[in-house]
Amino acid sequence: MKKSVYISGSILILFALACGFAKDYNFRNVYYSHNELIHQTSRLQTLPYLKAHHKDGSVYIFEDKWETDSVNLSGFGTYYDFKRTAVSEKLQVVPLDSIALFETNRKIESNKDKRVKMLSVMTAVDVVLGIICLTSPKTCFGSCPTFYFDDGNPNRLADAESFSNAIAPSMEYNDVDDLRYSGFGDKIVTFNMLNEALETHVVKKTDLAIVSKPLAFDVFISPEEKFYVTSANYRLINASASEGDITKVLEFSDMKERFSFADNKTLVKKEEILMTFDAKDLQNTGLKLSFRQTMMTTYALYSAIGYMGDEVADIFAKLEVSKDKNENLKTLLYNALGGIEVFSQQNDLTWKYEGEMYETGPIAQNHEILPLKHLQNINGTIKIKLVLNKGLWRLDQAALLEIEQETKPIYVQPLKVFKNGAEIKSVLTLKEKGERNQCELSMPGDAFKIQYSLPEIKNKGYNYQVFLDAKGYYIEWMRASWLKDKDLLALKRMLENPVTWLNGETSNYKKYEADMEKQFWESKWTKNNTSYESL
């Protein structure tokens, strides 16, 4: 905060200086008589430039070497007739009594040097700011409210991005995210909630959902937001996709992600990943995936807003009051692109549908578990097939876990909230149900530090697995540069038939796809952490 105050203060000083360019108001004078001219200019060290306006409308323009006697004005100059055609350029001798008016002009001091200095300073300030941004990634581009465990690491990747789908008030929803943080009881933990994009975040809840579990166990949420305590991890023996063996990529949660590019002809095309797990003693098993989306859905979202152009507010207002259209928008891309569908192989070698996972957003990874109901052990192995839209998902890990039990979390509200460094009385700490519809506004650049007190755990050898339970929505700011993309017909086509629209956008999307991820993260992380892959 201090940094931004210093920077803005410095730039405002520059602004004040820029406004202070001196202006010369008295460089030109006119004299109606020869005597007046002589009196006013005789004491000057340098003679002014002189124009002698003739009674017939013509004019003599002299440089700064001219002289008068009692009869004539003489000097080297140019004579222009009344039409301002140059007639002669020579030593002119002009009878004083033919002159109607003398005009003198003093040399004007230009502010050019000051302007160049000002530009140099501005350039230097901007370059320094650019470097600050690159070395302080949390100040750079992002999207949706992002949450970071407060461990003092400026290069930490976002632990959660909340309610990514809630792009309008009526689309507000409760979003539970796995923060992949476990902590002991009777302890204060702090998370940072940042607004890293040109968006207005309206946050109504940032509680923690915590689950007590033995130290050696883990807890994951299902797509239905049920909490499961898990134990054993069955080894991934083999994983393959169209590009070949991807076992090593999916084996561990190491931020090395498996992804594919969209099909060249259509954005809506499925692909398959086949996995084999070593699972001799199956009881109650679930498939855990760590995943996030590529930029495809965000591309679609911003395209939609661009299509709305200067009618974005009107259209969103209509969506707010139209339940059907609103529901349509909520599930638009999900219906078109689908989630990550999970199938298990049966003894007769057919595939049985187990369920699917879907979370919007390209920033923070999701870690979810899907309980598998139809698993069959085939010669001591389990075969799982994922069917997913090509180019839409980035998978970090696929693991088969033993589910010990379903459990209920304890909800912990924030203890203290600090906004941009100062403690505030925040609605996020309000405990009464009726009060919880109030919201905390977060504008671009706002940084909230939210403290929680984890309750004491009586059982030794237990700790808490911590999840974020957030609720709210956000408003994407319309950019001036998007206004020219206005195309209500395209918007209509997109809303009515997203699959056709996505197919039509394939070539446009493909132009950017290869570099989108790289460019996005390069705008955010330090050179040491240019992307997930670089970790």
Site residues (CB under 8 A) for other proteins, limited to 198-217:
198
Stretches 135-143, 161-169, 182-190, 376-384: which one binds other proteins (CB under 8 A)?
135-143
80 lines the binding site for other proteins (CB under 8 A): yes
CB 510 within 8 A of CB 241: no
SS3 of 327-369: HHHHHHHHHHHCCEEEEEECCCCCEEEEEEECCCCCCCCEEEE
Identify residues 166-195 at the interface with other proteins (CB under 8 A): 195
Which one, 241 or 312, has the nearer CB to other proteins?
A: 312
Identify residues 464-483 at the interface with other proteins (CB under 8 A): 479-482
Q: C-alpha angle 216/283/382, rounded to 5°? A: 100
Identify residues 419-448 at the interface with other proteins (CB under 8 A): 444-445
Identify residues 494-513 at the interface with other proteins (CB under 8 A): 508-509, 511-512
CB of 63 to other proteins, least distance (A): 8
**Selected binder of other proteins within 40, 74, 98, 103 (CB under 8 A):** 103
Which one, 22 or 349, has the nearer CB to other proteins?
A: 22
Dist. CA 117–CA 104, nearest whole Å = 31
196 lines the binding site for other proteins (CB under 8 A): yes
Which among 208, 180, 153, 141 has a CA at the least distance from the CA of 362? 141
Identify residues 232-251 at the interface with other proteins (CB under 8 A): none
112 lines the binding site for other proteins (CB under 8 A): yes
313 lines the binding site for other proteins (CB under 8 A): no
CB of 90 to other proteins, least distance (A): 15
**Selected binder of other proteins within 12, 38, 188, 488 (CB under 8 A):** 12
Which one, 61 or 336, has the nearer CB to other proteins?
A: 61
**Selected binder of other proteins within 301, 315, 364, 412 (CB under 8 A):** 301
Identify residues 337-366 at the interface with other proteins (CB under 8 A): 362
CA gyration radius, the chain: 36
410 lines the binding site for other proteins (CB under 8 A): no
- The owner of tokens 């509680």 is 207
Task: Compose the 386-405 pattern: x for residues touching other proteins by CB under 8 A, - for all others.
Answer: --------------------
Dist. CA 53–CA 98, nearest whole Å = 9
Which one, 108 or 535, has the nearer CB to other proteins?
A: 108
CB 234 within 8 A of CB 288: no
Which one, 99 or 246, has the nearer CB to other proteins?
A: 99
Which one, 2 or 431, has the nearer CB to other proteins?
A: 2
156 lines the binding site for other proteins (CB under 8 A): no
- The site that binds other proteins (CB under 8 A) totals a number of residues, namely 86
CB 488 within 8 A of CB 499: no
For 33-69, b/e burial (b = at least 16 CB within 10 A) is ebeebeeebeeeeebbbbbbebeeebbbbbeeebebe
**Selected binder of other proteins within 230, 298, 397, 426 (CB under 8 A):** 298
Which among 163, 232, 233, 178 has a CA at the least distance from the CA of 210? 178
Distant-in-sequence, close-in-space partners of 355: CB < 8 Å, separation ≥ 6: 223, 341, 342, 370, 371
Neighbouring-strand partners of residue 384: 275, 344
19 lines the binding site for other proteins (CB under 8 A): yes
DSSP 12-35: HHHHHHHHT------SEEEESSHH
299 lines the binding site for other proteins (CB under 8 A): yes
Identify residues 42-71 at the interface with other proteins (CB under 8 A): 49, 51, 53, 55-57, 59, 61
DSSP 76-99: EEEEE-TT--EEEEEEEEEEGGGE
CB of 322 to other proteins, least distance (A): 25
Which among 51, 47, 50 has a CA at the least distance from the CA of 80? 51
With 0-12 CB in 10 A as exposed, 13-18 as middle and 19+ as buried, what is 177? Answer: buried
**Selected binder of other proteins within 1, 6, 15, 327 (CB under 8 A):** 15
Which 3 state secondary structure label does DSSP give 528? coil
- The owner of tokens 């398959």 is 272
489 lines the binding site for other proteins (CB under 8 A): no
316 lines the binding site for other proteins (CB under 8 A): no
CB of 173 to other proteins, least distance (A): 21
CB of 490 to other proteins, least distance (A): 14
**CA–CA distance from 76 to each of 62, 81, 88, 440 (Å)?**
6, 17, 10, 76
